[in-house]
Structure formats: structure tokens, C-alpha cells
Amino acid sequence: FAFFKLTVTCRLAVSNRVTPCAVLISGLTIERFCMTGGKSPVGYLTAYLTNLYLSADSEKVQEAIEAGIASATMFTANKDVAYSDTQLRVAFDGDAVLFSDESEQIFKEQGLDKFFEHEQLNENKPLAQGPLKGFLEDLGKLQKKFYAKNERLNCPIRTFLVTARSAASSGARVLKTLRSWGLEIDEALFLAGAPKGPILVKIRPHIFFDDQMFHIEGAQKLGTIAAHVPYGVAQKYQKSA
């Protein structure tokens, strides 16, 4: 696998089995390289100060997630879409990606009404962090370098939250959690259960992270490169489906 350095503070590890990353890493130089002779590279990721690990091998990604490393399984888009070549656009799901799966557990096990009730009761209690919270934080550090130069409007990195949550019933807790972490997200889109694929077509992110395969598949069909984060209670329901 190879390491592509966005700056001295952000390193992207890419498995040699991943082909769709060409869009994401175009123009970046390989700073470090590791040949493992077919063995799992996961043991080296922490030593390499990896901010994000991407692979087409779901077993290695699962191993990395369990080791506490931000990781996702890459899936190619089903059709070609034009992406910005001047701005890196990264879209994240919320629950079980940026945040823990605690609220999703309520939804899966007790239903939508109990989920809304739980979120309203806990509106001012920050959610625990999810597996990609650190990666959003790293992107934020890069953005602040441009903000310090009065280049906020021309920043070459833009982040998006694309969540199935409803803004009215469960969105406040998400925004308050990000604020409590001291993190900014450029755009937050609350879809209230609507499909994510069409909104992703408008955003045109270089990569979209989600914990549920039906969202990944919906994104793929409409031309979005998507990455599955194998974390949280949704994985149990996907395996049993």
C-alpha cells in the first residue's frame, strides 16, 4: 500500500487493490511505500501516522476499524461523473460514521418514535465520536491554514454532512455535537429519510462515506464514488438481511 501526503498533517493510505482512488488522489505524490508480501498492512498503519485507510478488501478495512483507524471499503461508481479539479469535496454520513451508533441502536431496536424521543431528551448531550471523526478533524486543520490566509471562500477542501436525520426532530443534536467538538462542516443536509443518491449528484463529492450498504449502492448507481464504513449496529442487520 502507498501513502499520499496531503500535507505534513494528513496521510492517506491506499491499498494496491483500490482503483477508484485515482480521482481522489490525482496529482499527489507518493511519500511512503510499503510492500507486505500479501500480509495485512494494518499493523503498520498506526506507525505510519495514517489519517485514513482505503481498500477494496473489506476484511482488512474491518481489521483497521477494530484497531481504531479511520477506514472504509471503496466502491466504484456505475457511471462517469465530472468532478472538480480545484476543490476536494468529501461527504460524510453522520451516525456510525462521524458519530457513534448510539442513536442508531435506538432506531433499529425501538423504532422511529423512540429515536425521536431519545434525541429530543438528549439534544444538549454531545454524541460520542464515530470512526471518521478524526478524519474530519484533520481536514478541518487543513482548511484552517487557508482560512488564516483569508482564503475561506477559495478553500480547496469542502466538507458535507449528508444524513437521513430530520432537521426538525433530530438535527439539533448533530449540530450541537459538532459545535462541542470545535468542528465545522461546510454544508449540512438533513434528508428526513429521503434517498441520498440524488443530493450527492448535486454535491459531486470525490468520495462519500456511509455505514449502510443500501446508501452506498444508491450513490454508486448515480455516479458517486462511495466508501463503506463497517461500524455500528447496522452491520448486524445487513448480515442478517
Distance CA 77, CA 74 (A): 10
The answer to whether position 80 is within a domain reads no
Residues 60 and 126 both lie in one domain = no
- Domain count within the chain: 2
> What pLDDT digit, counting tens, does each position of 86-115 carry?
899 999 999 999 999 998 888 888 888 898
Give the closest residue to 100 by CA, choosing from 181, 10, 182: 181
Residues 66 and 111 both lie in one domain = no
The answer to whether position 30 is within a domain reads yes
Q: Which stretch of 11-25, 32-46, 162-176 has the lowest confidence by average pLDDT? A: 11-25
Q: Which of 73, 98, 126 is the last residue of a domain?
A: 73
Q: What is the pLDDT of residue 16?
A: 53
Sign of CA dihedral 13, 17, 21, 22: positive
The answer to whether position 78 is within a domain reads no
Question: Which of 57, 80, 85, 93 is labelled catalytic?
Answer: 93
Residues 41 and 98 both lie in one domain = no
The answer to whether position 224 is within a domain reads yes
Contact criterion met (CB below 8 Å) for 2 and 29: no
Distance CA 205, CA 159 (A): 9
Enclosing H/E stretch for 190: strand 187-190
Distance CA 42, CA 33 (A): 14
The answer to whether position 213 is within a domain reads yes
Segments forming the whole domain that contains residue 164: 88-240
Highest mean pLDDT among 18-22, 33-37, 163-167, 225-229: 225-229
Instruction: For residue 110, give the CATH number of its domain.
Output: 3.40.50.1000
Q: What is the pLDDT of residue 74?
A: 92
Catalytic site includes residue 93: yes
Average pLDDT over residues 36-57: 85
Residues 116 and 23 both lie in one domain = no
Distance CA 195, CA 217 (A): 11
Neighbours of 22 (CB within 10 A): 10
Q: Cell 429519510 belongs to which residue?
A: 193
